[in-house]
Structures are given as structure tokens and as C-alpha cells.
Amino acid sequence: MSLPKALNPIVRQLPHAGEIFLDHIGHFVRSAERASEALIQAGFQVTPISIQKNKGPDGTSRLTGTGNVTAMLKSGYIEILFKTADTPLGQEFDEAITKQPGVHLAAFAVSDAWAQSQRLKQSRFRVRPIVDLKRPIVTEGGESEAAFTVARVERGEMAEGRIQYLTHHTEEAVWQKRWLSHPNTAEALLDIVIVVDDVKEAANRFGRFLDHEPVLGSLGVGFHLERGGVHLMDRNTFEDMFGSAPQLPFIGIYAVRVASLQTCETFLARNDMKTERHKNLLLSRFPEPLGLGAWLFVECENDLPWRS
């Protein structure tokens, strides 16, 4: 299949019925404070630390096992996750970060997470019960709460990480205008690149998970969603372009659209961040507190090598 024509980017945060957006990615980190400093060093404005909770069977509020810090973008966001309790979710966090610190979560926004959970079950995935998550949010007017409905598959169904769906219920609390401006001019989360041992097998699975047709290209297989996308590469292709990959599968790259590549490059250089410029692409590896992997900054998603 050929690559699709360039589409007008969707700038609204929340999907309509039938749409799937790459909503956010999650770094699993050992220190929220050091990871926050690393994001700031890279030119992202970060929100305060927040602790995630949900309701237990008795109706009381319980720790999920993780907390977060975010860098909110005009389209999507970047999340830092850290452990807060020894819950099943916290234990999964431990397992992932022992493998390697870095990006272990990709969350896709839909209008109805419950319906997606049912579709996943019909697509031969073992699914977990729907979860309603909440976390406290500080707004300019005082305290508020962010609320999400999350649909997850069982452990082992998606070996690439915590690959999940969610539905947002509190857009204004999550995407506050004061957090959307970044010194590096970041505006949008675009695509993620996942390095896998068997591209054909992973493409089949992601096709069932995302309910989208794979797009075959010279660099692997892509899934172009209504906003953002997923690209699968084998080790040799990834290492030829971006350097060594650790244990697979590995979410090694995510792309961020910036308003000015020159401003981004200048800011990173001023903060002693090593970068590699290739025409309309700017590669910058994560500082150690964010784990293994790299950002790929572009002004236009069609400048991404797997989309060109």
C-alpha cells in the first residue's frame, strides 16, 4: 500500500465517534523530580506532581500505584509516570522499568472506551475490566479533578508496553491554557516508533488493536490514525537510522511537532542537550532520568522519514 496523502491536522483534543487519536505517551521513571527537570531542560513546561486514584469495590478512593507529571501540548501530551504503591499496576511498573527505563505506555483516545473494550474482546484480545481513573488537578481557580475511563488488555496481550484506550471527561481541567506554551515551541505529539523482533506479527496485532489497515513502507509498517500514528520497525532499520536499540520490543522514538525547529535547536544547545540535525529533522536523545530513547522534532509531520 502507498502512503496516504497529507491530511489537514486535527487540532481539537478529543476524538469524535469512530476516531482514534494518539493521546499521550508515558515515560516510566525512577524519580519524578529528576525526570521533570530533564523535560524542563529539553524545553517543555511541566505540570505539578499528581497522584492517581480510582474507586475500590467498597467505593472508597484507592491509589492506583502510579503518579504523574505531564507536559501538555496543543495536541496530546507527554507523561512521566512513577510508582506510588505496591498495587498490581505498581508491580507492572516495576517489571517494565527493570527491563529498561523509558517509554512504556501509549494511550489512544476514543469517544467511548467501553465500546472499544467490547471491540477488543471481539477481536480476540483478553481485556481487563473498565477502570475510572481520577487525579487531582490544580487550576488557576483552585482545586479540580481530572477524570478518565480506561480500557486495557490483559498482561502479555501487547508485549510492547501498556498499550491502552481512554476517554477523557474533563478536557478543560487537563489541557489548561497556561500549560500549553513551551520554550522549545512544542505543539503536538505525532507518531511513535516501536522496534520489534517480528514486524509482520506485530503489525497483525496492532491492526486488530487499532482497527486500522497497516501501511507498508520502506522503513517498516505504519498505522496512520485520525491524529498521530504508530510505526513498527525491525532492529536493523532502526539502528541504521537512530543508533543501537536495547532489549526488544522497544518504544524508541516519538515525534513532536514544533513551531520552529531553529528555536528548538537553539534552546536545546543552550541547555547542553546533544542534537543531530538532518535537514528538516532534529533528533535529541532523552536525558538519563527519562530513560532510553529519543525525540524527533519536526515542523511538519510529512517530514518524518516513515511518512515521506
Q: Does pLDDT of 32 surpass 60?
A: yes
* Distance in angstroms (rounded) separating the CA atoms of residues 146 and 167: 11
Of 2-11, 70-79, 203-212, 240-249, the poorest mean pLDDT is in: 2-11
Please tell me whether residue 27 adopts helix, strand or coil conformation.
strand
* pLDDT value for 69: 94
CB-based contact 22:163 (threshold 8 Å):
no
Q: Fold identical between 21-179 and 187-303?
A: yes
Of 88-102, 191-205, 282-296, the poorest mean pLDDT is in: 88-102
Q: Does pLDDT of 307 surpass 80?
A: yes
Fold of 21-179: 2,3-Dihydroxybiphenyl 1,2-Dioxygenase; domain 1 (3.10.180)
Give the angle subtended at the CA of 97 by the CAs of 92 and 99, to the nearest 5°.
100
CA 27 to chain centre: 8
CA 42 to chain centre: 17
Q: Does pLDDT of 49 surpass 90?
A: no
Q: Could you report the per-residue pLDDT of 7-19, keeping only the tens digit for each?
A: 446 778 899 999 9
Burial label, 37 (beta-carbon count in 10 A; 0-12, 13-18, 19+):
middle
Q: Does pLDDT of 4 surpass 60?
A: no
pTM, full prediction:
0.93
Q: Could you report the per-residue pLDDT of 273-305, keeping only the tens digit for each?
A: 999 999 999 999 999 999 999 999 999 999 999
* pLDDT value for 138: 81
**β-strand 102-109 against 21-28: which pairing, if any?**
antiparallel
Q: Does pLDDT of 60 surpass 90?
A: no
CB-based contact 69:36 (threshold 8 Å):
yes
* pLDDT value for 67: 85
Residue 3 DSSP class: P
Higher pLDDT, 6 or 94: 94
* Distance in angstroms (rounded) separating the CA atoms of residues 189 and 241: 21
CA distance from start to end of the chain: 14
CATH class of the domain at 187-303: alpha beta
Residue 122's φ and ψ, nearest 5 degrees, are -70, -20
* Distance in angstroms (rounded) separating the CA atoms of residues 224 and 190: 10
CB-based burial, 218-249: b 16+ in 10 Å, e otherwise: ebbbbbbbbbbbbbbbbeebbeebbeebeebb
Percentage helix, strand, coil for the chain under 3-state DSSP, each rounded to 5: 25, 40, 35
Question: Where exactly are the structural domains of the chain?
Answer: 21-179, 187-303
